[in-house]
A = this chain, B = another copy of it.
Amino acid sequence: MRVVTKNGPNAPPYTVPDPATRDLFLDAVRFDARGLVPAIAQQHDTGEVLMMAWMNREALDRTLATGRVTYYSRSRGSLWAKGERSGQLQHLVDLRLDCDGDTVLVLVDQEGVACHTGRRSCFFVALRDGQLTEIAAPVADPESLYGGKA
């Protein structure tokens, strides 16, 4: 049975695929030697690339099964439900696999900010006028996000 979950304010409702359908996707992914695949999170409506992190098969299955994006933390060696500490949830809109099966694009509806620095996107460093420059300012207080990676 499929379950339609509530979703973020700017995303359509998410329909949970049944386990056999989820396996179709999971079986098509070519995880690396560590059992991981890079996952790019993109805000579904604005197109903003928010972050890149890693998923193992269990994280990917949990993402599909719950509609809440879940990564695998290489530093902690455990699953990491995005927003579990910071409240900055990523609601799943769509998952895309690339032609080689070795990278996943995760279309999300990001609550609040994706970056643990309080910025909307993690990609805020660029060259400007010969200097390495922060081209976006925090829009949330990092301390209020518990100082940890959200």
Contacts and interface: CB of A to CB of B under 8 A. Distances in A.
Interface of A: 17-18, 21, 24-25, 28, 38, 40, 42, 46-49, 51-52, 64, 94-101, 103, 105, 115-117, 119, 122-127, 130-132, 135
Contact of A123 (B47, B97, B115, B119): B97
B127 A99 contact: no
B47 A127 contact: no
25 contacts: A18-B130, A21-B131, A24-B127, A24-B130, A25-B132, A28-B132, A38-B38, A38-B52, A42-B47, A46-B47, A47-B48, A49-B49, A49-B105, A64-B127, A95-B126, A96-B124, A96-B135, A97-B123, A98-B122, A98-B124, A98-B125, A99-B115, A99-B122, A101-B125, A105-B123
